Amino acid sequence: MEKNVSSLITIFGATGDLSYRKLFPSIYNLFQKGYFEHSLAIIGIGLNEFTTDEFREKVKNAIQNNIENPKKIDAFLKLLFYKQQDVNSKDSYHELLKMSLELDDKFDLKGNRLFYLAMSPKFFGIVTNHLQESGLTNVKGYKRIIIEKPFGDDLKSAEKLNNQIRKSFKEEEIFRIDHYLGKEMIQNIERLRFGNTIFEPLWNNKYISNVQVTSSETLGIEDRGAYYESSGALKDMVQNHLLQMVSLLAMEPPISRKSSDIRKEKVQVLKSLKCFNPNEIKKNFVRGQYDGGRMNNEFVPAYRNEPNVDSQSNTETFVAGKIEIENSRWAGVPFYIRTGKRMKKKSIQIVIEFKKNPMHLYYSNCEQNAPNLLVLNVQPNEGFSLCVNGKKSNQNNEMQKVKLPYTMPIKDKMNTVDAYENLIYDALIGEQTNFTHWEELKHSWKFVDDIENVWKQEQPQFPNYTSGSYGPKESEKLLSEDGLNWWNNL
């Protein structure tokens, strides 16, 4: 990382859970490592009637709960200020402008402003409009804005929201955050592919049988019932996180490491996703909803019995699907995606399964002809492994699977930054590689909308998988019909 960044960071929604758990600890970590050189000030905006001292105390507790050794916390808190504000009030932004100018002058921030909207998307257009009208976007330095998901509910609403924000910010000033893109092993995909000659020449339909992308959670929806009822796993996970991983795995080599060149290749992948007709969607995509069950010797309730959830809800908590990419590199290679709550284990994992060796000279039976696998473990145990075939230590020339693992050392894990820390720093220096471009968002929404429109036409048979399982049986069938299976125990 570079150093010596300067900025006034204004956080809308500063008293929310995301701000306390992720944003303030991440910004503090950057401060503690010396990336600001004291050219930093933070304005926290919320509806609560806090004084700045009261707010600093809450942020202090949040940082201490999330950071092991907060040595410079008192110095950091002196750079933190609070403003109670109703974001719908036009006049309040003039007060915010006055406060911003004073802090800019006091801390020599060079007119740089980063706005972070850690709030409901329904306020995004309102806030950006008022920021422009009040003069807060008229700056001597840079102006940038970070926006949390969900960015719209479908393509139409996303386009409307994007048009609103673009009245105040240019595309290169908009940072649509997807925290998966800040994870170390997700960022490692590009390095593994293009930095190793043993992989890139094989990264095509001649050698790869299929790709599997899984993001599973053991938790239920917890206190997010109201949000999840309006979203579901398809919009909450597939539209952003899973399709982003697919685009990184499938993209062509960029001509440079510039963010514009990398994002251009990701867009091409999303544009190449096969548009399925309704019958193909029914065949290639599975949805599910968890039932009650026992996990860790405790009974957990069904989704329909969770707080703020309709007792007859048809919201999906699980999605599995088969994606096809229509280009010369990937023709005939299925990309299977899977995500769900209340699953058997917590895991974010990518499995690249290579085609089996057609030579039968070395195999006494077909079971010994196991496919080679490249496995990327994003969470919980960051690392990757290569599964190959080798000889058993006997006189029968029998083969066995051999796993060549790399797990991130404990000392490196301790130094691994949180995804939000990575992404906030990228926004401060204007690096957009790990943020979602509008073109990416547009094509991913188009793909997801087609699935959603088909699902709306039929009533699903929910609940259809037990908590603590790998999801609905139809998910297994999705692969078995192609002569394949999910790799669950790698």
Task: Quickly tell me which residue has 């008022």 as its tokens.
Answer: 130
Give strand pairing partners of 296. Answer: none
Residue 342, sorted as left (phi over 0), alpha (psi -120 to 50) or beta, turns out to be left
Alpha helices in 242-335 (DSSP H): 243-250, 259-271, 278-284
| CB proximity list for 94: less than 8 A, separation 6 or greater | 134
| Residue 488, phi then psi, degrees to nearest 5 | -95, -20
Show the tokens assigned to 33: 């490592």
- Determine contact, residues 220/290, Cβ cutoff 8 Å: yes
User: What is the rounded distance in angstroms from the CA atom of residue 451 to the CA atom of residue 200?
Assistant: 32
Q: Residue type for 16, please?
A: G
How is residue 88 annotated by DSSP?
T
Residues 467 and 358: their CA atoms lie apart, in Å, by 40
- Residue at 475: amino acid letter: S
Q: Which long-range contacts (CB under 8 A, 24 or more apart) does 239-243 make?
A: 239/150, 239/444, 239/445, 239/447, 239/448, 240/149, 240/150, 240/178, 240/180, 240/436, 240/444, 241/178, 241/180, 241/215, 241/339, 242/213, 242/215, 242/337, 242/339, 243/270, 243/337, 243/444, 243/447, 243/448
Is residue 94 annotated as part of the catalytic site, yes or no?
Answer: no
129/150 Cα distance (integer angstroms): 19
Catalytic residue among 130, 179, 241, 437: 241
C-alpha 85: how far from chain center: 30
- If you count DSSP H runs as helices and E runs as strands, how many of each does the chain have, helices first? 16, 18
Q: Would you please indicate which residues are annotated as catalytic (active-site) residues?
A: 241
